[in-house]
A and B are shown apart, each in its own frame.
Chain A
Amino acid sequence: MANRSTHLAVIPAYNESATIGRVIERVGRERPDFDVLVVDDGSTDDTGAIAHRAGAEVLRLPFNLGIGGAVQAGFVYALEHDYRCMAQVDADGQHDPAELATLMRAMDEHETDVVCGSRFLSSDMSYPAPISRRTGIHIFAFLLSLFVRQRITDPTSGFRLYGRRGIELFARDYPHDYPEVEAILMLHHHRLRMCEVPVQMFERDGGASSITSGKSAYYMVKVLLALFVGLARRRPVVEAGESAPVFASHGI
């Protein structure tokens, strides 16, 4: 597929054959100015084939990397194809692609590198998430707001818009699993600007959530650890000439 646009919508998808077709179609209808890239994260159903038929470019990972590795593949794709702007939209229909307009407007108005859609800023709460999850989100939001000295309300939101600097940063370094919260801390450390805008979030359109109760406990602990360690880290981007973050040989 030839590059047509300067804007790319990345849809990470893991076994979302029930919804992926409709989501792609909606993005295409609402935002014809966006190219669509589906990152099929080792799905065992026909998510990839459906996405291809719906006209999206499909990035097929050979095995499941989890949302972090999958979205990062999107960042690398955006970087290598010189996209100016990249949106991230969930594959389960919880986000309304029409609201990308809100995100884009905020990016222009506030001159930020990243814009996050927040369901808690919106007056219309169609899908407030289960109470246990909401508590977790609020704890992250509280800690992050403290750390980055800016009010953050929905740090786990996967409805985001990244400008060129955001793409460059995250193509080089993006957290492994459950990356959204940590990513905001990284933005702060790298002095990239971000803001939130109110968006609606809906009940998922079909299929099953990947977040089971066992996983949310792991999610909670992992992200808390990442946040506190991340505070002491700064995770600088590796500059040209420095030793690589990933290398094959390593002494004891």
Chain B
Amino acid sequence: MDRIQLVSTAAAVLLLFVVLEMVRRRRLLERYALLWLLAATVVLALAVWRGALVKLAHVVGIVEPPNALFFIALAFILLLLLHFSSALSRLSDQSKVLAQRVALLDTRLRALQAATDGTDEDEPIAVTLGELEQTRS
């Protein structure tokens, strides 16, 4: 085993361990852990199993096999980033729907309150996110 092989094996094992530990502590949902685990496993396999890496490097036309390892790792990083962007888009969609629903419920509640105790007070939402951000900055 040459040095790069040792380093990449160690890094992949460490990554694997950290991801699994995070899942165990519920710091990472399984849903998001899967892609990380796949990446770590593939990098680990290629680091240990030199023959596969050489063959792969040959197939895609990379002269130095260790470079193929970087190539694979980079591909996974891009994949993960894309995955995050898509997760973020979904979250934006969801938070939009939630914000709209909160506002609609809020008006309905005010109307109900006004109808029951006859007041028509205009109490703003206790703390809006805008105010929160203002006070923070």
Contact = CB atoms under 8 A, between A and B. Distances in A.
Q: How large is the interface on A (under 10, 10 to 19, 20 to 34, 35 or more residues)?
A: 20 to 34
B122 A49 contact: yes
Interface stretch (A62-70, A96-104, A113-121, A204-212): A62-70
Interface stretch (B18-26, B41-49, B56-64, B86-94): B86-94
B31 A62 contact: no
Nearest to A52: B122
A92 to B, nearest CB: 19
Nearest to A70: B100
Given A176-B92, A246-B97, A250-B90, A62 B129 contact: yes
Nearest to A37: B107
Q: Helix, strand, loop or mixed for chain B's interface?
A: helix
Contact of B125 (A39, A44, A57, A62): A62
Interface in A53-81: 53, 57-65, 69, 72-73, 76-77, 80
A80 B107 CA distance: 13
A48 interface: yes
A61 B99 contact: yes
Contacts of B32: 252
A1 interface: yes
A64 B124 CA distance: 15
Interface residues of B, number: 28
Nearest to B107: A59
Given A44-B130, A58-B107, A249 B94 contact: no
Interface string B74-91: 000000000100010010
Contact of A42 (B31, B93, B122, B130): B130
A62 B34 contact: no
A249 B99 contact: no
Given A42-B129, A49-B124, A58-B107, A63 B31 contact: no
Contact of A249 (B31, B92, B97, B111): B31
Contacts of B125: 60, 62
A64 B92 CA distance: 12
A43 interface: yes
Interface centre among A43, A48, A49, A60 (most CB of B within 10 A): A60
26 contacts: A42-B128, A42-B129, A42-B130, A44-B128, A44-B131, A52-B122, A59-B106, A60-B124, A60-B125, A61-B99, A62-B102, A62-B103, A63-B130, A64-B129, A65-B99, A69-B100, A72-B96, A73-B99, A73-B103, A76-B100, A76-B104, A80-B104, A176-B92, A246-B90, A246-B94, A250-B90
